[in-house]
Each structure stands twice: as C-alpha cells, then as structure tokens.
Amino acid sequence: MLDTLFHNATVVTAAADFAVFQEALVGVRAGRIERIETAPVGATLPRAKETVDAGGGLILPGLVNTHTHLPMSLFRGLADDLPLQQWLSEHIFPAEAKHIDPEAVRLGASLAAAELLLSGTTTCCDGYFYETEAAEAVERMGLRAVMGQGVIDFPAPGVPDPSRNIDHAEDFLRRWKNAADRIRPSIFCHSPYTCSSATLIAAKKAASRHGVLFQIHVAETRMEADQIRAEHNLSPVAYLDRLGVLDADTLIVHGVWLDGEDIDLLAARGCPVSHNPQSNMKLASGVAPVAKMLQAGIRVGLGTDGCASNNDLDLFAEMDTAAKLHKAVLLDPTVLGAEQVLAMATCNGARAIGWGDEIGSVEVGKAADLIVLDTAAPHLMPMYRPVSHLVYAARGSDVRDVMVGGRFVVRDRKLLTADVEELMDRVAVRCRTIGTSSK
Amino acid sequence: MLDTLFHNATVVTAAADFAVFQEALVGVRAGRIERIETAPVGATLPRAKETVDAGGGLILPGLVNTHTHLPMSLFRGLADDLPLQQWLSEHIFPAEAKHIDPEAVRLGASLAAAELLLSGTTTCCDGYFYETEAAEAVERMGLRAVMGQGVIDFPAPGVPDPSRNIDHAEDFLRRWKNAADRIRPSIFCHSPYTCSSATLIAAKKAASRHGVLFQIHVAETRMEADQIRAEHNLSPVAYLDRLGVLDADTLIVHGVWLDGEDIDLLAARGCPVSHNPQSNMKLASGVAPVAKMLQAGIRVGLGTDGCASNNDLDLFAEMDTAAKLHKAVLLDPTVLGAEQVLAMATCNGARAIGWGDEIGSVEVGKAADLIVLDTAAPHLMPMYRPVSHLVYAARGSDVRDVMVGGRFVVRDRKLLTADVEELMDRVAVRCRTIGTSSK
C-alpha cells in the first residue's frame, strides 16, 4: 500500500525526456516515488494511506535553489539602489558585524526556510556563518539543504580568528556528515579576492577529503575580475584552476565575468555553475554568459542569492527573469527556452549541487520531493503548455502543497513545520534594532 | 460621514513628495479620497458606513498598466521562445484571424480584467480590435481603462476593410466619449510600419479632434527602426514628428530603439512613454533606454503588454524587472531606484495616459482607486522600507482588497464583480479549439 497518492494532476517530470503526464497520478511510499502513471478521472485508484486530489493542478519536482545566504533574510530591503561598495561597507557588513549571532542565524534561517517552502523550493544550497545553527533551523523546518560553512580571511561571525577558518569548517563537516538525512554539509569559500591562495587550496582539500561540495563566488563583478587579473595576471577562473580547486564538486557561483576560455575551462573541469540573475541585476554586477555555458555543456542551476540582494527567494520569479534576460541581451528569443530554464530550477540544479541522483525530477525511485500547483486562477488560464506557465506565468504563491522526502511540509498553502505567525513576530521584534542601527 | 474608512495601515501615497504615513487611516466618500492621516492603533476613528482594518498592511494607489492587449489573454503561452516573425506569422496572426470575434474579445477582456484587479491593477491602457466589446467587458468587471480602438492598414478583426479603419475608430470614440465614468476611449495605431503616413496623420487628427489619447507602438524592434530608416531616412520617432503626430497626448509604446536625438525630441514634444520590459525581453526586442528618458524628463509609465508576450499581467513583477534590468545593462545600481519605479507604476503611469489629475496617487480629492496589501507573510518580513518591498519583494498575490472609484471590486482576494470559476470554465472551453488549431 502507498503512503500517499496524488491524483487528478498533470505531472511535469523534469526527467531526461521532460515527459509530461496528463490526468496522472503519483504514488509515494517510504519517502520515495513509487509510481507515476496516467489515470483518467474516475479510474480506480491504487490504495494509499492518504489520497490527495491535486484538483487538476500541476505536480512537479520541488524546486532547487542553488545559492542562498539564508540568515540574510533579516536584512531584506535594508538598503537598495546603492553603489556596491557603499551598500556593503555602510549597510551589510556593519549589520552583519553587529547583529549576526547564533540566535539571529536560527531566526533568519527559519524565516528563509518558511519562505522557500511556501513558494515551492524544497532544496537549497546555502553558504554563511554559524552554519550549524542555520542547519539546525533548516532541518527543523523540513527543508532539504546543502549547508556550507563560510570561509573568509577576515574575522567573521563565529570565526573571530581567520587562521582557524579551515579547522572551523572541517569541524562543521564532521558534525554534519551523516547527521541528518536532509542535510549535507559543505564548505563555502567567499571568493578568490577575500581568501588567500593557501586558504582556497586548504579549503578545497578539506572538502575533497570529506567528499562534500565546495562552493565559491567567482567572477561576480568586474572589480573582482580586474583585481585578480592585476594580482595574478589570470582570470578568476584560470587562477582557481592554477590552484587546482576546479572539479565536478566545485560549484561556481555567479560566473558573470567569464570569457570564452573561462567557459571552456569550466566545461573541461566539469564545474557546475549557479546562475543568480536577479541578484546580478540588482547589484549591477552584469549578465552572466549563460547561453554560452549551456552550449558548452556546463551544468547550470538557478539561485536567488540572499534576501539582501534580490529581495526574495521566489524561484518562480527567478525562472521568469532567467528566461527573459538573456533573450533581451542577446537579441535572440530562442535562447534559454522554458524547458531549459525549468531544468535549471529542478534537475540541473540538483545535479549542480551533487544531489541529482536523489532529487530534481519526478521519477520512480527518487526522493518524494514534490510540489502541487493550483492552476485554477485567472493568471494561469488558459493553459496550452504547462512548462510555459511554470516559467512565464506562475508565482510562488500558486504552490498549494509541498512534500519533502515523502513528508508534507506545506498543505493548502499553510506551513506545517512551524508557527509562521509566531516566527514573524519574533522576526519583527529582532529586526526593530537592525532597522534603527542602519540609519 | 465617510462611506469607507481604512485604518491600521501604512499608506504609501505616491504623491509628489512620495510621503509614507505610518499607522494611518484613509477615508473615502462619494468615490473620492477625503482624508489621509496618522491614527495610532486605539485612537478614536472617524465615523464611516464601513470600516476596514488593513491589518497593519500597506495601502497604495491602484496600479496603472499603461499597455495591454486584453483579449490576448486567450493566447497566453500559446507559443514562446520563437523568432519574432515565426511567432507572429505562424502562431499569433493565424490565431487572431481564426479566433478573434466579439465573443472571444469579451471573454478574453474579462479574463484579463480579473487578473489585473486580483493583482492590484485598477487602470489599464488598452489597444485592440472589437474594442467596444472589450470596453463593455472591462466596464462590467469594474476596472478603469483607456480603451483604444486598433487602426492598421490591413484587414483586422471587426475591420475587414482597412480603408474604413479611421471611420471605425472615430465611431468608437463617439460611442464611448462620456458613456461611462471609468472608460475613456482612445485610438491605437499599430505602428509606423503597419500604418501609412496618411493613416497616421488622419488617426492622430481624429484623436485630437475628440481630445483623446493617441497610442502607438514605436521603435519596438531593430527591424522596425531599420525599415523606417530605409523608407524615410529617419528614425521612427523623427518620422512621426515629421508627420506632426507627436505631442503630450501621444503615448509612445516600447521606445526600445531610440537614440539621444529621439529622446530629446520626445522630451521636447512632451510625449509620454510606456515601458514594457518583460515583453521587450521575452520577444528579444532589446532594452529601452529608460534611464536616459527619465533624465530627459519624459513621463514614463510601466506596461505588461499582452499575455501572449509576457505571459502575465502582474505589474508587481514588472516593477521588479524594470528596477533590476537597467541596473544590469548599465552596470549602475543607482538607476531606476525603487521610488522611481513605483512612480512609473502609479502616478507617472497615470500622467502618461493623461489621467494624472484623477488617479495614480493617494491624495485628498483624487478618485478612491486604492489597494490593500497583506504584508503578514514570510517573503515580506522584516519590512524596513515599504517602497523597497513593493518593488523588490511583493507579488500580485499579496493584494488583499481593491477599490476602484470608491467601490470594492476585490475583498479578501476574491473578485466581487464576476464569478471567476464560471469565467475560467468558459475560457477553458473556448480555448480548447485554439490550442488544437495552433499545433
């Protein structure tokens, strides 16, 4: 007998053939997808402990957000529309120095997890400090996540002595390896310009030793690319390659300022890339050459970045932006088509963070990370092609139900894993002091 | 005594000083805003026939969408990611020729009006064919609108003989002038490359004679700009100026391919512009030089364009895109700040379509076109600055209540002016044939 049966749905699998099943059912048992098949309304349904009518809506894999800084949800909208250095040095860095402590990280990560789940993201790939506290919060909220302990060559929240940053990160890996089904630890090096070559090499070695993902912001801004070139006479990507840190388990975040050689190098090393169009746009970093990356066969996932630079975590909005941005810049309406972009937010995102064997598509044997979209709304009518709607018309608020690993975490748009009202009250109280001190 | 009193709100006025009232109330009488003032929770409230607790949310002017083709909601997602000419000639034009009749226009306009109202847009500026049927539907749905009868030098829906296109449009103006409080008629010339100079001149003269807005797609694509230059040795804007059709009542839609001289000319003539970033991106038309237009003092409003090229009518998403796109392309995070973009979607949009004296801001004496946003959601927490959230984090689905001219059209996210379920059923039935025939 199945644990959960979804029926009366159109299933967008995001599997290799991108099959779409009309009038279909999805059966879940022991946390995994056990069957997917066509079942016209009125057909006899398989037995299940719980049967859920999807109401003619869409079922798709839970979305995968390949780049977040969850606790920064507390800085959402704190400062916008400013030159990057002023935004960082006058607002974000002071706010982090003053307000980021273990309790703030728990609170901010919980708020972000609530936002992610309610808008259909079931997995994120995070990087921040006090990452143990963030991982505990995320685990409790029911999200699946790669959690990366931050490494930077400056005093950082929870790591006052930068000479201890690798040890600290390795402690984090030991603590979280196999500690929780839905949490995978990782190391997140801030960037090639804030970490020395020794730090980068040591951090990557530690990540490899533990068999975990190594994440790093690379070539986000022209300033960074110019600085690395001035210091090393190499592009950021070529510099990292010389250090030996580029391989299939190194997630390149941003990759805005890449030339053709950088793209070829990333493809040759098998490096996945996290594309964060809205953050890159809002901070005026530029437009990543994603169409070329895809042509080169690079695994590209989609990310929102942190709430301080987006200012939300809605991956539906991010899909819409990704699909449109590159068309405008390249003057070519055929690049980044809807299917390709949906793949970035699902199967390819999962592959980019090294979890593609378990999640990212609706396939028999995969973890039951599923979302149900309510499509009975004027902005989703009519519906000729579901994939088009998912990218170009749907919003996070259309997500009705969310399941992670076979367990419901959202039902009828309500989060089941936390008291959202109480969480928002705590956020409001805590953030009163942040708003005041940043002015 | 007031008719309606909203209290327990933060009021974002979008007035000239862009004042924001915390813990405030808004009083409405006889369809107009009568008072706006601070009123801490617990204060004695003015008497009103109906008192509405905004629940600590935001009140702002109803949004103004300066460019729509409402009936094209029936073609939402029919075809995407195709070269422009293929998209038009193989999908959109055949669908229009085969499926656009008075009943389809009524249905599509009703569906679009429902989507607009539910996502906080209270006014749109439309251009299409069978515009009388569209205007009737819009009027019934409770929206406010400038409705433009289409003029093109080809056989068009409802205007089989193009030699009658100006007469037909003028009949429309006569019929709708002063016919309904919330509907203002207009003439919508398709473009300088699909209308002859004689048509353009005659259409503008007819619009001027009746004192109504003249709308036209201008410089949307490079192809158009090249074609006009080849034929007339002038840019599209300079060509229209030579014809004498540019003045403060001519709304330039798109304006993507403008050079510095075009911008100066538009500024000198006082022409408003409708900026449609998502449509321009999706169709790969390019990026309009909006920062330069704003510097030149041009009134720029925001538009979604039709659902066939967006694929939704959510002006919150459009604000987010507008604010981010130009930062990325100009590599300058200070352009199109949140306040400037919110103005484009409210007060400046209203001014762009010639209705700025009545709508577009929350000010005493203006029409009571108001929306209430529910901000008690994780993706809007914390809130340091309401204007930032409206542009960078809010979604159309956060709109709780909508009032047009003092009358509620949406309460608690439910449309009051139509049976949405029944409307969607009719759309589904009608569109079955459209989906089939386009394949």
Q: What is the pLDDT of residues B347-389, one digit of tens each?
A: 999 999 999 999 999 999 999 999 999 999 999 999 999 999 9
Residues of chain A with pLDDT > 70: what percent?
A: 99
Distance between CA atoms of residues B66 and B346, nearest Å: 10
CB-CB under 8 Å, A313 with B317: no
Least CB–CB distance from A384: residue in B78, B118, B396: B78
- B189 and B237 in a common domain: yes
Q: What is the pLDDT of residue A414?
A: 98
Mean pLDDT of chain A, nearest integer: 97
Give the residue numbers spanning the domain of A76.
63-352
**CA distances to B63, B372, B390, B397 from B375, in Å:** 17, 9, 10, 11
Q: Is the pLDDT of residue A145 over 70?
A: yes
Q: Is the pLDDT of residue A439 over 90?
A: no
User: Is residue B360 domain-resident?
Assistant: no
Residue A166 has, within 13 A of its CA and on its CB side, a CA count of 17
Residues 6+ apart with CB under 8 A from A88: none
- A87 and A54 in a common domain: no
Chain A residue closest in CA terms to B335: A81
**CA distances to A407, B96, B223, B230, B283 from B85, in Å:** 47, 15, 10, 19, 10
CB-CB under 8 Å, A334 with B83: yes
Amino acid at A240: L
Please report which helix (H) or strand (E) contains residue A132, including its range.
helix A131-141
CB-CB under 8 Å, B333 with A77: no
User: Is residue A421 domain-resident?
Assistant: no
Q: Is the pLDDT of residue A152 over 60?
A: yes
Tokens at residue B378, please? 């994780």
Largest CA distance in chain A: 69
Distance between CA atoms of residues A326 and A337, nearest Å: 10
Chain A residue closest in CA terms to B326: A281
Amino acid at B195: C
- Strand ranges of the sheet holding B300-302, from the earlier edge strand across to the other edge: B63-68, B121-128, B144-151, B183-189, B213-218, B250-254, B273-275, B300-302
Residues of B in contact with A282 (CB under 8 A): 323-324, 327, 333, 392
Distance between CA atoms of residues A269 and B12, nearest Å: 51
Distance between CA atoms of residues B315 and B115, nearest Å: 11
- B212 and B94 in a common domain: yes
How close B439 comes to chain A (CA, Å)? 10
How close A239 comes to chain B (CA, Å)? 24
Distance between CA atoms of residues A8 and A375, nearest Å: 12
DSSP class of B308: G
The torsion defined by the Cα of A192, A194, A199 and A203, in degrees rounded to 10, comes to: -70
**CA distances to A226, A256, A422 from A221, in Å:** 9, 7, 39
User: Is residue A424 domain-resident?
Assistant: no
Please report which helix (H) or strand (E) contains residue A12, including its range.
strand A2-12
Q: Provide the CATH number for the domain around residue B148.
A: 3.20.20.140
Residue B332: burial class (beta carbons within 10 Å; 0-12, 13-18, 19+): middle
DSSP class of B417: S
Residue whose C-alpha is closest to residue A232's, from A191, A188, A266, A197 = A197
Q: What is the pLDDT of residues A316-331, one digit of tens each?
A: 999 999 999 999 999 9
CB-CB under 8 Å, A328 with B281: yes
Is residue A438 within 8 A of residue A97, CB to CB? The reply is no
Q: What is the pLDDT of residues B263-292, one digit of tens each?
A: 999 999 999 999 999 999 999 999 999 999
Q: Give CB contacts under 8 A, 24+ apart, made by B175-181.
A: B175/B132, B176/B132, B176/B135, B176/B147, B177/B210, B177/B212, B180/B135, B180/B139, B181/B405
Chain B residue closest in CA terms to A437: B384
Distance between CA atoms of residues A65 and A275, nearest Å: 10
Distance between CA atoms of residues A174 and A206, nearest Å: 11
Q: Summarize the confidence of residues B99-108 as an average pLDDT.
A: 97
Structurally, chain B folds into a number of domains equal to: 2
Q: Summarize the confidence of residues A416-438 as an average pLDDT.
A: 90
Neighbouring CB atoms inside 10 A of A430's CB total 17
- B286 and B147 in a common domain: yes
Ranges of beta strands (E only) in A94-182 are: 121-128, 144-151
Residue B49: burial class (beta carbons within 10 Å; 0-12, 13-18, 19+): exposed
Q: What is the pLDDT of residues A33-55, one digit of tens each?
A: 999 999 988 889 999 999 999 99
Q: What is the pLDDT of residues A257-315, one digit of tens each?
A: 999 999 999 999 999 999 999 999 999 999 999 999 999 999 999 999 999 999 999 99
Is residue B236 within 8 A of residue B257, CB to CB? The reply is yes
User: Is residue B430 domain-resident?
Assistant: no
Q: The tokens 């996210």 sit on which residue? A: B413
Least CB–CB distance from B281: residue in A310, A325, A421: A325
Q: Summarize the confidence of residues A62-90 as an average pLDDT.
A: 95
Q: What is the pLDDT of residue B297?
A: 98
CB-CB under 8 Å, B81 with A333: yes
Chain B residue closest in CA terms to A438: B384
Q: What is the pLDDT of residue A132?
A: 98
Least CB–CB distance from B82: residue in A87, A334, A379: A334
Is residue A125 within 8 A of residue A149, CB to CB? The reply is no
**CA distances to A11, A40, A43, A383, B106 from A56, in Å:** 10, 11, 15, 12, 26
Residues of B in contact with A396 (CB under 8 A): 379, 395
Residue B154: burial class (beta carbons within 10 Å; 0-12, 13-18, 19+): exposed
DSSP class of A31: T
- A293 and A190 in a common domain: yes
Q: Provide the CATH number for the domain around residue B33.
A: 2.30.40.10
**CA distances to A149, A207, A251, B272 from A171, in Å:** 10, 11, 21, 61
CB-CB under 8 Å, B283 with A333: yes
Residues, chain B, total? 439
User: Is residue A329 domain-resident?
Assistant: yes
Distance between CA atoms of residues B250 and B236, nearest Å: 14
Residues 6+ apart with CB under 8 A from B74: A382, B99, B104, B107, B108, B111, B427, B430, B431, B434
Residues, chain A, total? 439
- A133 and A86 in a common domain: yes
Least CB–CB distance from A424: residue in B114, B378, B392: B378
Residues of chain B with pLDDT > 90: what percent?
A: 96
The interface pTM score, or ipTM, of the predicted complex is 0.97
Is residue B357 within 8 A of residue B395, CB to CB? The reply is no
Partner residues linked to B156 by β-bridges: B159
Three-class secondary structure of residue B329 per DSSP: helix
Q: What is the pLDDT of residue A45?
A: 96
CB-CB under 8 Å, B118 with A328: no
DSSP class of B393: T
Among B58, B80, B111, most A C-beta atoms within 10 A, so best to mutate, is: B80
Is residue A373 within 8 A of residue A60, CB to CB? The reply is yes
Residues of A in contact with B413 (CB under 8 A): none
- B384 and B304 in a common domain: no
Q: What is the pLDDT of residues B403-433, one digit of tens each?
A: 999 999 999 999 999 999 999 999 999 999 8
The pLDDT-based confidence of A76 (bands split at 50, 70, 90) is very high
User: Is residue B437 domain-resident?
Assistant: no
Q: The tokens 């690049």 sit on which residue? A: A335
The pLDDT-based confidence of B84 (bands split at 50, 70, 90) is confident
Q: Summarize the confidence of residues A376-397 as an average pLDDT.
A: 97
CB-CB under 8 Å, A395 with B397: yes
Mean pLDDT of chain B, nearest integer: 97
Tokens at residue B63, please? 């949004």
- B97 and B31 in a common domain: no
Q: What is the pLDDT of residue B85?
A: 84
CB-CB under 8 Å, B286 with A435: no
CB-CB under 8 Å, B321 with A321: yes
Q: How many CB pairs under 8 A join A and B?
A: 219
User: Is residue A81 domain-resident?
Assistant: yes
CB-CB under 8 Å, A285 with B329: no
Chain A residue closest in CA terms to B394: A312
Please report which helix (H) or strand (E) contains residue A27, including its range.
strand A20-29
Q: What is the pLDDT of residue B439?
A: 43
User: Is residue B324 domain-resident?
Assistant: yes
Three-class secondary structure of residue A11 per DSSP: strand
Q: What is the pLDDT of residue B364?
A: 98
Residues of A in contact with B68 (CB under 8 A): none
> The whole model's pTM is what?
0.98
- Beta-sheet pairing, A121-128 with B2-12: unpaired
Q: What is the pLDDT of residue A437?
A: 58
**CA distances to B18, B47, B49 from B5, in Å:** 22, 8, 8
Tokens at residue B255, please? 């304006």
- A395 and A252 in a common domain: no
- B240 and B140 in a common domain: yes
Is residue B235 within 8 A of residue B219, CB to CB? The reply is yes
- A49 and A192 in a common domain: no
Cis upstream peptide for A280 (omega within 30°)? no
CB-CB under 8 Å, A424 with B381: yes
CB-CB under 8 Å, B77 with A385: yes
Q: What is the pLDDT of residue B437?
A: 58
- B213 and B194 in a common domain: yes
